[in-house]
Amino acid sequence: MNKIRGFTFGWGAKRGEYQTVKCTDALEQLKQTGTEWISLSFWTWCDSVFSRRIYFDYSYTVTDADLCFIIKHAKSMNLKVCLKPVVNSRDGMWRGLIRFPDSLGENGTDYWREWFSSYTDFILHYAEIAEKSQCEMFCIGCEMSSTEHRTVEWNNLIDRVRSIYSGKIVYNANHGMEDGKEWFRNLDYIGISAYYEIARIPGSSLKEMLEGWKSPMDRLHDLYKKFHKKIIMMEIGCRSARGCAMFPWDYLKTDLPCDENEQANFYLSAFMTFWCLPWIGGFFWWDWSHFLYDREKGSSDTGFGIYGKKAENIVREWYSR
């Protein structure tokens, strides 16, 4: 497989928004960067990290019709698609904390059984859409860190997905989880949310960031050697705000000053570190909005997007190789 030249697209879309001219125009703009893949990522809800039920809230969640529309449009543009359904918790807690304490004994086992039953229904629903829409890849989970020790349940889920979906399967682990789990052997690729702290001070130079990537690179290489599955950067990125390379996952510190150079250095250092490594499958940068801001506002925007920013030119250069 050639390197995945990808971007996450459409995160945060509400019902009906994929089926708009503004959304398809944003996809056209993304295509012009040399992007060849999109990770079509969206979420539905559980009430809390201790809830055993995942449900479809179509007052918010994109509908099946929305997904089929944008997948068909992406394919008409010769873009490949990884469908990536995600669970978020309404209580504001990170999905990686979804868990049921072992101290519950048999009750805990029952809770896990109920949760995995609901999660399996959720995932299989979208695996069917991925198959019917001929998506090239399907992501079975994102940053579900506190569930990953449930080997039997995850293996069962993978078997169920493969019974209805014929494409490639990936799981999106979080950074810091590079030891992996045995059930990773049954995946086609291992994904990682690569929000590594590669800077020690705000406004770090390219040289400093290249140094900062050395430890994460070694840990990811160990993950590859353990399972012999190519590593895909399922999420990787940095806001164009000063200091964000120190905490690239952050989206809450809205008072930080704009810094296109810090974001550009993050992008360039990641490409320089990983692009030529044969065990890296590619990138899905975070993220490209389905509703773009006006291009001239890029120089003052402090979000993850790169539209109209220096990092966009870096992506164009590397994705054209």
Per-residue tokens: 179: 């030891």
Side chain identity at residue 62, one-letter code: V
The structure tokens listed for 27 are: 């996809």
Cα–Cα distance for residue pair 80/157, rounded to 1 Å: 24
**Single pTM value for the model:** 0.96
Asked if residues 234 and 4 have their Cβ atoms less than 8 Å apart, the reply is: no
Mean pLDDT of the chain: 95
**Is the pLDDT at 248 greater than 90, yes or no?**
yes
User: Which residues sit opposite 42 in a β-bridge?
Assistant: 85
- The reported pLDDT for the residue numbered 105 is 54
- Tens digits of per-residue pLDDT, 282-308? 999 999 999 999 999 999 999 999 999
Region of poorest pLDDT, from 34-48, 101-115, 144-158, 170-184: 101-115
Total number of domains in the chain: 1
| Residue 28: pLDDT over 90 | yes
Residue 283 has a pLDDT of 98
Looking up residue 279, the CATH number of its domain turns out to be 3.20.20.80
Domain that holds residue 200: 4-319
Q: Which residues contact 58 (CB under 8 A, 6 or more apart)?
A: 15
List CB contacts of 119: < 8 A, sequence separation 6 or more.
54, 87, 157
Element (H, E) at 261: helix 260-274
Q: Is residue 1's pLDDT more than 70? A: no
Decide if 99 contacts 90 (C-beta within 8 A).
no
